[in-house]
Protein backbone atom coordinates (compact mmCIF):
# COMPACT_ATOMS: atom_id res chain seq x y z
CA UNK A 1 0.00 0.00 0.00
CA UNK A 2 1.44 3.39 -1.05
CA UNK A 3 1.04 6.09 1.60
CA UNK A 4 -0.65 9.19 0.28
CA UNK A 5 1.50 11.46 2.45
CA UNK A 6 4.49 10.66 0.27
CA UNK A 7 2.55 10.75 -3.00
CA UNK A 8 1.33 14.27 -3.64
CA UNK A 9 2.01 14.23 -7.37
CA UNK A 10 -0.79 14.81 -9.86
CA UNK A 11 -0.06 11.41 -11.34
CA UNK A 12 -0.83 9.66 -8.04
CA UNK A 13 -3.98 11.70 -7.50
CA UNK A 14 -5.16 10.76 -10.96
CA UNK A 15 -4.50 7.08 -10.27
CA UNK A 16 -6.31 7.27 -6.93
CA UNK A 17 -9.30 8.99 -8.52
CA UNK A 18 -9.50 6.35 -11.22
CA UNK A 19 -9.29 3.58 -8.63
CA UNK A 20 -12.16 5.00 -6.58
CA UNK A 21 -14.20 5.71 -9.73
CA UNK A 22 -13.72 2.11 -10.86
CA UNK A 23 -14.87 0.84 -7.47
CA UNK A 24 -17.94 3.04 -7.73
CA UNK A 25 -18.76 1.78 -11.23
CA UNK A 26 -18.31 -1.87 -10.24
CA UNK A 27 -20.49 -1.36 -7.17
CA UNK A 28 -23.26 0.14 -9.30
CA UNK A 29 -23.16 -2.89 -11.62
CA UNK A 30 -23.63 -5.47 -8.83
CA UNK A 31 -25.95 -3.41 -6.62
CA UNK A 32 -29.20 -4.47 -8.44
CA UNK A 33 -28.39 -8.06 -7.48
CA UNK A 34 -27.41 -7.67 -3.81
CA UNK A 35 -30.08 -4.98 -3.29
CA UNK A 36 -32.89 -7.14 -4.65
CA UNK A 37 -35.59 -8.09 -2.14
CA UNK A 38 -34.86 -11.76 -2.89
CA UNK A 39 -31.20 -11.85 -4.03
CA UNK A 40 -30.83 -15.63 -3.62
CA UNK A 41 -32.89 -16.39 -6.73
CA UNK A 42 -32.60 -13.14 -8.67
CA UNK A 43 -31.22 -13.23 -12.22
CA UNK A 44 -30.78 -9.97 -14.20
CA UNK A 45 -31.14 -11.85 -17.48
CA UNK A 46 -32.70 -15.12 -18.56
CA UNK A 47 -31.71 -18.07 -16.37
CA UNK A 48 -29.20 -20.51 -17.89
CA UNK A 49 -27.58 -18.35 -20.58
CA UNK A 50 -24.14 -19.44 -21.81
CA UNK A 51 -21.02 -17.33 -21.34
CA UNK A 52 -19.51 -16.84 -24.80
CA UNK A 53 -15.91 -16.89 -23.54
CA UNK A 54 -15.96 -19.92 -21.22
CA UNK A 55 -18.97 -21.70 -22.76
CA UNK A 56 -20.20 -22.25 -19.23
CA UNK A 57 -23.86 -22.07 -18.23
CA UNK A 58 -24.35 -19.14 -15.87
CA UNK A 59 -26.83 -19.63 -13.02
CA UNK A 60 -28.36 -17.19 -10.55
CA UNK A 61 -26.28 -18.72 -7.76
CA UNK A 62 -23.03 -17.99 -9.62
CA UNK A 63 -24.08 -14.41 -10.33
CA UNK A 64 -25.02 -13.84 -6.68
CA UNK A 65 -21.71 -15.20 -5.36
CA UNK A 66 -19.69 -13.01 -7.72
CA UNK A 67 -21.86 -9.99 -6.86
CA UNK A 68 -21.56 -10.14 -3.07
CA UNK A 69 -17.86 -11.01 -3.20
CA UNK A 70 -17.31 -8.01 -5.46
CA UNK A 71 -19.14 -5.82 -2.94
CA UNK A 72 -16.97 -7.24 -0.18
CA UNK A 73 -13.66 -6.54 -1.98
CA UNK A 74 -14.72 -3.03 -3.03
CA UNK A 75 -15.65 -2.18 0.57
CA UNK A 76 -12.42 -3.58 2.01
CA UNK A 77 -10.36 -1.69 -0.58
CA UNK A 78 -12.11 1.63 0.07
CA UNK A 79 -11.81 1.15 3.84
CA UNK A 80 -8.10 0.37 3.52
CA UNK A 81 -7.51 3.40 1.31
CA UNK A 82 -9.16 5.68 3.85
CA UNK A 83 -7.18 4.11 6.71
CA UNK A 84 -3.82 4.50 4.97
CA UNK A 85 -4.22 8.20 4.18
CA UNK A 86 -2.07 10.40 6.42
CA UNK A 87 -3.60 13.04 8.65
CA UNK A 88 -1.75 15.71 6.70
CA UNK A 89 -3.86 14.94 3.64
CA UNK A 90 -7.04 15.32 5.66
CA UNK A 91 -5.99 18.78 6.87
CA UNK A 92 -5.74 20.06 3.30
CA UNK A 93 -9.34 20.77 2.32
CA UNK A 94 -8.35 21.57 -1.25
CA UNK A 95 -6.95 18.12 -1.92
CA UNK A 96 -8.73 15.61 -4.10
CA UNK A 97 -9.22 13.53 -1.00
CA UNK A 98 -11.84 15.72 0.66
CA UNK A 99 -13.44 17.11 -2.48
CA UNK A 100 -13.91 13.89 -4.42
CA UNK A 101 -12.69 10.63 -2.85
CA UNK A 102 -14.19 10.84 0.64
CA UNK A 103 -17.72 11.70 -0.58
CA UNK A 104 -17.66 8.69 -2.93
CA UNK A 105 -16.53 6.31 -0.16
CA UNK A 106 -19.16 7.71 2.21
CA UNK A 107 -21.90 7.38 -0.38
CA UNK A 108 -20.86 3.79 -1.15
CA UNK A 109 -21.07 2.62 2.47
CA UNK A 110 -24.30 4.48 3.24
CA UNK A 111 -26.07 3.07 0.21
CA UNK A 112 -24.73 -0.40 0.88
CA UNK A 113 -25.91 -0.63 4.50
CA UNK A 114 -29.28 0.99 3.87
CA UNK A 115 -30.26 -0.84 0.68
CA UNK A 116 -28.34 -4.15 0.45
CA UNK A 117 -30.37 -7.25 1.29
CA UNK A 118 -27.73 -9.99 0.98
CA UNK A 119 -26.16 -10.83 4.34
CA UNK A 120 -22.77 -11.79 2.94
CA UNK A 121 -22.42 -8.41 1.26
CA UNK A 122 -23.09 -6.13 4.23
CA UNK A 123 -21.52 -8.50 6.78
CA UNK A 124 -18.16 -8.38 4.97
CA UNK A 125 -18.50 -4.68 4.12
CA UNK A 126 -18.79 -4.10 7.89
CA UNK A 127 -15.04 -4.70 8.25
CA UNK A 128 -14.18 -2.04 5.68
CA UNK A 129 -16.65 0.42 7.19
CA UNK A 130 -15.07 -0.07 10.64
CA UNK A 131 -11.71 1.00 9.20
CA UNK A 132 -13.35 3.97 7.50
CA UNK A 133 -15.09 5.12 10.70
CA UNK A 134 -11.95 4.57 12.75
CA UNK A 135 -10.08 6.97 10.48
CA UNK A 136 -12.88 9.55 10.40
CA UNK A 137 -13.08 9.71 14.21
CA UNK A 138 -9.33 10.44 14.43
CA UNK A 139 -8.76 13.05 11.69
CA UNK A 140 -8.22 16.74 12.35
CA UNK A 141 -10.57 17.92 9.64
CA UNK A 142 -13.75 18.82 11.52
CA UNK A 143 -16.07 18.27 8.57
CA UNK A 144 -14.88 14.68 8.14
CA UNK A 145 -14.65 14.04 11.87
CA UNK A 146 -18.32 14.91 12.34
CA UNK A 147 -19.55 12.47 9.67
CA UNK A 148 -20.05 9.37 11.94
CA UNK A 149 -22.16 11.35 14.41
CA UNK A 150 -24.06 12.95 11.53
CA UNK A 151 -24.92 9.51 10.12
CA UNK A 152 -25.92 8.22 13.54
CA UNK A 153 -28.27 11.10 14.33
CA UNK A 154 -29.66 10.89 10.80
CA UNK A 155 -30.63 7.24 11.24
CA UNK A 156 -32.16 7.94 14.64
CA UNK A 157 -34.19 10.79 13.13
CA UNK A 158 -35.48 8.42 10.44
CA UNK A 159 -36.50 5.86 13.07
CA UNK A 160 -38.23 8.55 15.13
CA UNK A 161 -40.26 9.56 12.07
CA UNK A 162 -38.61 12.97 11.63
CA UNK A 163 -37.31 12.10 8.15
CA UNK A 164 -40.01 10.05 6.43
CA UNK A 165 -38.51 10.51 2.96
CA UNK A 166 -35.66 8.10 3.79
CA UNK A 167 -37.66 5.54 5.78
CA UNK A 168 -38.60 3.49 2.71
CA UNK A 169 -34.92 2.67 2.14
CA UNK A 170 -34.72 0.63 5.36
CA UNK A 171 -35.24 -3.12 5.03
CA UNK A 172 -38.15 -4.23 7.26
CA UNK A 173 -37.19 -7.92 6.92
CA UNK A 174 -33.90 -9.83 7.26
CA UNK A 175 -33.43 -8.42 10.78
CA UNK A 176 -33.10 -4.90 9.34
CA UNK A 177 -30.30 -6.12 7.00
CA UNK A 178 -27.21 -3.87 7.14
CA UNK A 179 -28.61 -1.18 9.45
CA UNK A 180 -27.48 -2.83 12.74
CA UNK A 181 -24.01 -3.40 11.28
CA UNK A 182 -23.71 0.26 10.34
CA UNK A 183 -24.68 1.40 13.85
CA UNK A 184 -22.26 -1.08 15.42
CA UNK A 185 -19.33 0.12 13.30
CA UNK A 186 -19.95 3.75 14.24
CA UNK A 187 -20.25 3.05 17.98
CA UNK A 188 -17.42 0.54 18.51
CA UNK A 189 -14.92 2.82 16.76
CA UNK A 190 -15.93 5.87 18.81
CA UNK A 191 -12.82 7.24 20.62
CA UNK A 192 -12.67 6.58 24.35
CA UNK A 193 -11.92 10.24 25.09
CA UNK A 194 -15.49 11.11 24.07
CA UNK A 195 -16.81 9.17 27.07
CA UNK A 196 -19.10 6.99 24.93
CA UNK A 197 -21.52 9.91 24.60
CA UNK A 198 -22.73 8.79 21.19
CA UNK A 199 -23.28 5.24 22.46
CA UNK A 200 -25.44 6.43 25.36
CA UNK A 201 -27.33 8.82 23.07
CA UNK A 202 -28.03 5.99 20.65
CA UNK A 203 -29.12 3.50 23.35
CA UNK A 204 -31.50 5.96 24.99
CA UNK A 205 -33.13 6.83 21.66
CA UNK A 206 -33.42 3.20 20.57
CA UNK A 207 -34.97 2.15 23.89
CA UNK A 208 -37.47 5.01 23.69
CA UNK A 209 -38.44 4.05 20.13
CA UNK A 210 -38.76 0.37 21.06
CA UNK A 211 -40.97 1.24 24.03
CA UNK A 212 -43.37 3.34 21.93
CA UNK A 213 -46.45 1.16 21.40
CA UNK A 214 -48.26 3.50 19.01
CA UNK A 215 -49.62 1.88 15.85
CA UNK A 216 -47.68 4.10 13.44
CA UNK A 217 -44.42 3.16 15.18
CA UNK A 218 -44.51 -0.58 14.35
CA UNK A 219 -41.73 -0.62 11.74
CA UNK A 220 -39.53 1.68 13.79
CA UNK A 221 -39.95 -0.64 16.79
CA UNK A 222 -38.85 -3.60 14.69
CA UNK A 223 -35.74 -1.77 13.48
CA UNK A 224 -34.84 -0.47 16.95
CA UNK A 225 -35.15 -3.92 18.55
CA UNK A 226 -32.99 -5.44 15.81
CA UNK A 227 -30.34 -2.78 16.35
CA UNK A 228 -30.51 -3.22 20.15
CA UNK A 229 -30.02 -6.96 19.71
CA UNK A 230 -26.83 -6.40 17.70
CA UNK A 231 -25.48 -3.96 20.31
CA UNK A 232 -26.20 -6.33 23.22
CA UNK A 233 -24.41 -9.11 21.32
CA UNK A 234 -21.31 -7.10 20.45
CA UNK A 235 -18.40 -8.06 22.72
CA UNK A 236 -16.50 -4.86 21.89
CA UNK A 237 -19.03 -2.82 23.85
CA UNK A 238 -18.17 -4.78 27.01
CA UNK A 239 -19.74 -3.66 30.25
CA UNK A 240 -21.05 -0.29 29.07
CA UNK A 241 -24.12 -2.01 27.60
CA UNK A 242 -24.90 -3.84 30.88
CA UNK A 243 -26.71 -0.85 32.39
CA UNK A 244 -29.36 -1.10 29.65
CA UNK A 245 -30.08 -4.83 30.00
CA UNK A 246 -33.06 -4.46 32.35
CA UNK A 247 -34.76 -1.98 30.00
CA UNK A 248 -34.15 -4.34 27.11
CA UNK A 249 -35.77 -7.25 28.97
CA UNK A 250 -38.84 -5.14 29.81
CA UNK A 251 -39.21 -4.07 26.17
CA UNK A 252 -38.79 -7.62 24.82
CA UNK A 253 -41.19 -9.30 27.27
CA UNK A 254 -43.80 -6.56 26.83
CA UNK A 255 -43.74 -7.09 23.05
CA UNK A 256 -44.40 -10.86 23.20
CA UNK A 257 -48.16 -10.36 23.17
CA UNK A 258 -48.25 -7.89 20.27
CA UNK A 259 -50.61 -8.74 17.41
CA UNK A 260 -47.96 -8.03 14.73
CA UNK A 261 -45.69 -10.96 13.91
CA UNK A 262 -42.72 -8.70 13.08
CA UNK A 263 -42.79 -7.21 16.59
CA UNK A 264 -43.02 -10.62 18.26
CA UNK A 265 -40.20 -12.03 16.12
CA UNK A 266 -37.82 -9.14 16.89
CA UNK A 267 -38.74 -9.33 20.57
CA UNK A 268 -37.98 -13.06 20.68
CA UNK A 269 -34.55 -12.57 19.11
CA UNK A 270 -33.82 -9.67 21.47
CA UNK A 271 -34.87 -11.69 24.51
CA UNK A 272 -32.69 -14.66 23.52
CA UNK A 273 -29.69 -12.33 23.21
CA UNK A 274 -30.39 -10.79 26.63
CA UNK A 275 -30.65 -14.23 28.27
CA UNK A 276 -27.19 -15.03 26.92
CA UNK A 277 -25.91 -11.61 28.08
CA UNK A 278 -27.24 -12.11 31.61
CA UNK A 279 -26.47 -15.80 32.18
CA UNK A 280 -23.80 -16.65 29.60
CA UNK A 281 -23.73 -19.09 26.70
CA UNK A 282 -25.58 -22.28 27.60
CA UNK A 283 -23.11 -24.97 28.67
CA UNK A 284 -25.49 -27.91 28.67
CA UNK A 285 -27.43 -29.41 25.78
CA UNK A 286 -30.27 -30.28 28.13
CA UNK A 287 -32.49 -27.20 28.33
CA UNK A 288 -34.13 -28.52 31.49
CA UNK A 289 -30.85 -29.18 33.33
CA UNK A 290 -28.88 -25.94 33.26
CA UNK A 291 -25.25 -25.72 34.23
CA UNK A 292 -24.51 -23.81 37.43
CA UNK A 293 -22.42 -21.43 35.33
CA UNK A 294 -25.62 -20.44 33.49
CA UNK A 295 -27.43 -19.51 36.70
CA UNK A 296 -27.29 -16.73 39.29
CA UNK A 297 -28.35 -16.34 42.92
CA UNK A 298 -31.67 -14.49 43.05
CA UNK A 299 -30.19 -11.82 45.32
CA UNK A 300 -27.31 -11.12 42.90
CA UNK A 301 -29.65 -11.03 39.90
CA UNK A 302 -32.04 -8.49 41.43
CA UNK A 303 -29.14 -6.41 42.74
CA UNK A 304 -27.86 -6.12 39.18
CA UNK A 305 -31.29 -5.52 37.64
CA UNK A 306 -33.52 -4.05 40.38
CA UNK A 307 -36.08 -2.82 37.83
CA UNK A 308 -36.95 -6.41 36.91
CA UNK A 309 -38.23 -7.46 40.35
CA UNK A 310 -41.47 -5.50 40.23
CA UNK A 311 -41.87 -5.97 36.47
CA UNK A 312 -41.63 -9.78 36.61
CA UNK A 313 -44.12 -10.00 39.45
CA UNK A 314 -46.53 -7.73 37.59
CA UNK A 315 -46.29 -9.81 34.41
CA UNK A 316 -46.86 -13.07 36.32
CA UNK A 317 -49.97 -11.58 37.93
CA UNK A 318 -51.29 -10.52 34.51
CA UNK A 319 -50.72 -14.00 33.11
CA UNK A 320 -52.58 -15.50 36.04
CA UNK A 321 -55.60 -13.28 35.34
CA UNK A 322 -55.49 -13.47 31.53
CA UNK A 323 -54.32 -16.41 29.42
CA UNK A 324 -53.40 -14.03 26.60
CA UNK A 325 -50.24 -13.21 28.54
CA UNK A 326 -49.03 -16.81 28.40
CA UNK A 327 -46.22 -15.94 25.93
CA UNK A 328 -44.80 -13.35 28.33
CA UNK A 329 -45.20 -15.83 31.20
CA UNK A 330 -43.05 -18.39 29.40
CA UNK A 331 -40.21 -15.89 28.94
CA UNK A 332 -40.39 -14.91 32.61
CA UNK A 333 -40.18 -18.54 33.68
CA UNK A 334 -37.07 -18.90 31.52
CA UNK A 335 -35.50 -16.24 33.74
CA UNK A 336 -36.79 -17.67 37.02
CA UNK A 337 -35.50 -21.18 36.31
CA UNK A 338 -32.00 -19.69 36.10
CA UNK A 339 -32.21 -18.24 39.63
CA UNK A 340 -31.54 -20.07 42.86
CA UNK A 341 -31.35 -19.13 46.56
CA UNK A 342 -27.88 -18.12 47.71
CA UNK A 343 -26.11 -19.54 50.74
CA UNK A 344 -26.96 -16.61 53.00
CA UNK A 345 -30.71 -17.20 53.07
CA UNK A 346 -31.48 -14.21 55.33
CA UNK A 347 -30.11 -11.73 52.81
CA UNK A 348 -32.44 -12.81 50.01
CA UNK A 349 -35.39 -14.21 51.97
CA UNK A 350 -37.69 -11.36 50.99
CA UNK A 351 -36.89 -11.66 47.27
CA UNK A 352 -37.19 -15.44 47.33
CA UNK A 353 -40.54 -15.37 49.14
CA UNK A 354 -41.96 -12.84 46.69
CA UNK A 355 -40.96 -14.79 43.61
CA UNK A 356 -41.88 -18.18 45.06
CA UNK A 357 -45.31 -17.16 46.36
CA UNK A 358 -46.24 -15.49 43.10
CA UNK A 359 -44.98 -18.39 40.99
CA UNK A 360 -46.84 -20.86 43.18
CA UNK A 361 -49.94 -18.73 42.77
CA UNK A 362 -49.78 -18.77 38.97
CA UNK A 363 -48.59 -22.35 38.46
CA UNK A 364 -51.92 -24.15 39.22
CA UNK A 365 -53.66 -22.27 36.43
CA UNK A 366 -51.27 -23.88 33.92
CA UNK A 367 -51.23 -27.47 35.18
CA UNK A 368 -54.54 -28.34 33.54
CA UNK A 369 -53.56 -27.11 30.08
CA UNK A 370 -53.55 -29.83 27.44
CA UNK A 371 -51.84 -28.32 24.37
CA UNK A 372 -48.16 -28.94 23.68
CA UNK A 373 -47.37 -25.23 24.10
CA UNK A 374 -48.93 -25.09 27.54
CA UNK A 375 -47.38 -28.41 28.54
CA UNK A 376 -43.95 -26.88 28.00
CA UNK A 377 -44.97 -23.87 30.06
CA UNK A 378 -46.25 -26.18 32.78
CA UNK A 379 -42.98 -28.13 32.81
CA UNK A 380 -40.81 -25.07 33.05
CA UNK A 381 -43.02 -23.63 35.79
CA UNK A 382 -42.36 -26.77 37.86
CA UNK A 383 -38.62 -26.27 37.36
CA UNK A 384 -38.83 -22.59 38.31
CA UNK A 385 -40.86 -23.29 41.45
CA UNK A 386 -38.50 -26.01 42.61
CA UNK A 387 -35.37 -24.01 41.87
CA UNK A 388 -36.60 -20.84 43.55
CA UNK A 389 -38.20 -22.47 46.60
CA UNK A 390 -35.31 -24.70 47.62
CA UNK A 391 -31.90 -25.85 46.59
CA UNK A 392 -31.36 -29.44 45.53
CA UNK A 393 -29.49 -31.42 48.12
CA UNK A 394 -25.91 -32.04 47.09
CA UNK A 395 -25.39 -35.71 46.30
CA UNK A 396 -21.91 -37.26 45.99
CA UNK A 397 -21.86 -40.68 44.36
CA UNK A 398 -19.58 -43.44 45.64
CA UNK A 399 -17.19 -45.25 43.31
CA UNK A 400 -19.61 -48.17 43.26
CA UNK A 401 -22.46 -45.90 42.12
CA UNK A 402 -20.23 -44.38 39.47
CA UNK A 403 -19.29 -47.83 38.17
CA UNK A 404 -22.95 -48.81 38.08
CA UNK A 405 -23.69 -45.61 36.18
CA UNK A 406 -20.96 -46.33 33.63
CA UNK A 407 -22.26 -49.85 33.09
CA UNK A 408 -25.83 -48.55 32.74
CA UNK A 409 -24.72 -46.04 30.12
CA UNK A 410 -22.99 -48.82 28.19
CA UNK A 411 -26.25 -50.78 28.27
CA UNK A 412 -28.01 -47.83 26.68
CA UNK A 413 -29.78 -46.26 29.68
CA UNK A 414 -30.52 -42.55 29.26
CA UNK A 415 -28.72 -39.88 31.24
CA UNK A 416 -32.06 -38.41 32.34
CA UNK A 417 -33.19 -41.73 33.85
CA UNK A 418 -29.90 -42.17 35.72
CA UNK A 419 -29.96 -38.59 37.02
CA UNK A 420 -33.45 -39.19 38.42
CA UNK A 421 -32.36 -42.49 39.95
CA UNK A 422 -29.38 -41.07 41.85
CA UNK A 423 -30.76 -37.55 42.43
CA UNK A 424 -28.03 -35.72 40.53
CA UNK A 425 -28.01 -33.48 37.48
CA UNK A 426 -27.60 -34.73 33.94
CA UNK A 427 -24.35 -32.76 33.76
CA UNK A 428 -22.99 -35.00 36.56
CA UNK A 429 -23.89 -38.10 34.55
CA UNK A 430 -22.20 -36.54 31.53
CA UNK A 431 -19.02 -35.89 33.55
CA UNK A 432 -18.98 -39.50 34.78
CA UNK A 433 -19.27 -40.70 31.18
CA UNK A 434 -16.36 -38.50 30.08
CA UNK A 435 -14.13 -39.70 32.97
CA UNK A 436 -15.22 -43.35 32.78
CA UNK A 437 -11.73 -44.68 32.03
CA UNK A 438 -10.13 -42.79 34.94
CA UNK A 439 -12.89 -43.93 37.31
CA UNK A 440 -12.49 -47.59 36.31
CA UNK A 441 -8.69 -47.47 36.69
CA UNK A 442 -8.86 -45.77 40.09
CA UNK A 443 -11.53 -48.21 41.33
CA UNK A 444 -9.40 -51.21 40.32
CA UNK A 445 -6.45 -49.79 42.28
CA UNK A 446 -8.65 -49.06 45.30
CA UNK A 447 -10.01 -52.63 45.33
CA UNK A 448 -6.50 -54.11 45.09
CA UNK A 449 -5.30 -51.97 48.02
CA UNK A 450 -8.15 -52.07 50.57
CA UNK A 451 -11.03 -53.81 48.78
CA UNK A 452 -13.32 -50.80 49.19
CA UNK A 453 -15.51 -49.14 46.56
CA UNK A 454 -17.41 -46.93 48.98
CA UNK A 455 -15.04 -44.00 48.59
CA UNK A 456 -16.58 -40.95 46.98
CA UNK A 457 -13.50 -39.09 45.74
CA UNK A 458 -10.48 -40.12 43.71
CA UNK A 459 -8.01 -37.87 45.55
CA UNK A 460 -5.11 -39.69 47.17
CA UNK A 461 -5.03 -39.90 50.95
CA UNK A 462 -2.46 -37.83 52.80
CA UNK A 463 1.03 -39.37 52.87
CA UNK A 464 2.08 -40.70 56.30
CA UNK A 465 5.54 -39.16 55.97
CA UNK A 466 3.98 -35.78 55.20
CA UNK A 467 1.77 -36.00 58.29
CA UNK A 468 4.72 -36.83 60.55
CA UNK A 469 6.97 -34.11 59.13
CA UNK A 470 4.16 -31.59 59.50
CA UNK A 471 3.60 -32.51 63.19
CA UNK A 472 7.34 -32.30 63.85
CA UNK A 473 7.48 -28.90 62.10
CA UNK A 474 4.62 -27.54 64.23
CA UNK A 475 6.28 -28.77 67.46
CA UNK A 476 9.63 -27.15 66.63
CA UNK A 477 8.04 -23.86 65.60
CA UNK A 478 6.04 -23.76 68.86
CA UNK A 479 9.35 -24.00 70.72
CA UNK A 480 10.67 -21.06 68.71
CA UNK A 481 13.36 -23.04 66.94
CA UNK A 482 14.38 -21.76 63.48
CA UNK A 483 13.56 -24.01 60.51
CA UNK A 484 14.96 -24.25 56.99
CA UNK A 485 14.13 -26.14 53.83
CA UNK A 486 17.26 -28.28 53.96
CA UNK A 487 16.52 -29.26 57.58
CA UNK A 488 12.99 -30.31 56.62
CA UNK A 489 14.33 -32.44 53.76
CA UNK A 490 16.82 -34.25 56.02
CA UNK A 491 14.16 -34.93 58.67
CA UNK A 492 11.75 -36.21 55.99
CA UNK A 493 14.34 -38.75 54.81
CA UNK A 494 14.92 -39.94 58.40
CA UNK A 495 11.19 -40.35 59.08
CA UNK A 496 10.71 -42.15 55.75
CA UNK A 497 13.42 -44.67 56.73
CA UNK A 498 11.93 -45.28 60.19
CA UNK A 499 8.45 -45.84 58.74
CA UNK A 500 9.78 -48.19 56.03
CA UNK A 501 8.46 -45.81 53.43
CA UNK A 502 9.27 -45.48 49.75
CA UNK A 503 12.86 -46.76 49.30
CA UNK A 504 13.22 -44.68 46.12
CA UNK A 505 12.53 -41.40 47.93
CA UNK A 506 15.42 -39.01 47.40
CA UNK A 507 16.34 -35.64 48.78
CA UNK A 508 15.50 -33.88 45.51
CA UNK A 509 11.98 -35.37 45.56
CA UNK A 510 11.43 -34.14 49.10
CA UNK A 511 12.75 -30.66 48.46
- Identify the residue with better confidence: 153 or 441: 153
- The predicted-structure confidence for 268-311, as pLDDT tens digits, reads as follows 999 999 999 999 888 766 656 677 778 888 888 888 899 998 89
Q: Cβ contacts of residue 365 below 8 Å, gap of 6+?
A: 320
Identify the pLDDT of residue 5: 45
Arithmetic mean of pLDDT over the chain: 78
Question: Can you list the alpha helix ranges (DSSP code H) found in 117-260?
Answer: 119-138, 142-145, 147-159, 179-188, 197-211, 218-233, 245-254
Scored b (16 or more CB within 10 A) or e, 325-348 reads bbbbbbbbbbbbbbbbbbeeeeeb
The reported pLDDT for the residue numbered 185 is 95
Specify which of 58-62, 133-137, 331-335, 376-380 reaches the highest per-range mean pLDDT: 133-137
**Structure-model confidence comparison of residues 47 and 36, the more confident one:** 36
**In angstroms, rounded to a whole number, what is the distance separating the alpha carbons of residues 316 and 322?**
10
Nearest to 132 by CA among 81, 97, 190, 70: 81
Q: Work out the average pLDDT over 217-225.
A: 93
d(CA 93, CA 102): 11
What is the pLDDT at residue 291?
A: 73
Q: Are 225 and 251 within 8 A, CB to CB?
A: yes
> If pLDDT is split at 50, 70 and 90, which confidence band does 238 have?
confident
In the prediction, which pLDDT does 369 show?
36
User: Which pLDDT score is estimated for 325?
Assistant: 62
pLDDT of 276:
92
Measured CA to CA, the distance from residue 56 to residue 237 in angstroms comes to 47
CB under 8 A, 24+ apart: contacts of 199-208 = 199/237, 199/240, 201/152, 202/152, 202/156, 202/231, 203/228, 203/231, 203/241, 203/244, 205/156, 205/159, 205/160, 206/156, 206/159, 206/231, 207/244, 207/247, 207/248, 207/251
Predicted local confidence at residue 244, as pLDDT: 95
pLDDT tops 60 at residue 212: yes
Which of 173-177, 200-204, 289-293 has the highest average model confidence (pLDDT)? Answer: 200-204
Q: Please report the pLDDT score of residue 93 as a whole number.
A: 47
Per-residue pLDDT reduced to its tens digit, 37-83: 888 777 776 655 555 666 677 778 888 898 999 999 999 998 888 87
Q: Does 228 score more than 70 pLDDT?
A: yes
Nearest to 78 by CA among 9, 153, 1: 1
Query: In the prediction, which pLDDT does 226 show?
Result: 95
Is the pLDDT at 214 greater than 80, yes or no?
Answer: yes
Please indicate whether residue 311 or residue 346 has the higher confidence score (pLDDT): 311
Amino acid sequence: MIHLASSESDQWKCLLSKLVSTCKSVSEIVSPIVNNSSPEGYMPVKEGFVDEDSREIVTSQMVLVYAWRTTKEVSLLLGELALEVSDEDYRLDKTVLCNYIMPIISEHFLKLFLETKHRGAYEQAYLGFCKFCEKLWSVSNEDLKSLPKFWLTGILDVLKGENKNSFHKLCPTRRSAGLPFMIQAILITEPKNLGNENFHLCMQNLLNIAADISEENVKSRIHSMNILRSLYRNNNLGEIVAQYIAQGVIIAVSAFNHDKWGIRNSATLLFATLITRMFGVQRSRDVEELSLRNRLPARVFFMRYPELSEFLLEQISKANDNNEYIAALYSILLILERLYPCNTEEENQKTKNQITSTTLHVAPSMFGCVSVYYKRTKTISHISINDMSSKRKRVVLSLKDKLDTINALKRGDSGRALSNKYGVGTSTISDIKKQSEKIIQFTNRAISQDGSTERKVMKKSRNEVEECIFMWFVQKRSLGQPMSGSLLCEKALIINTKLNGDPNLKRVQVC
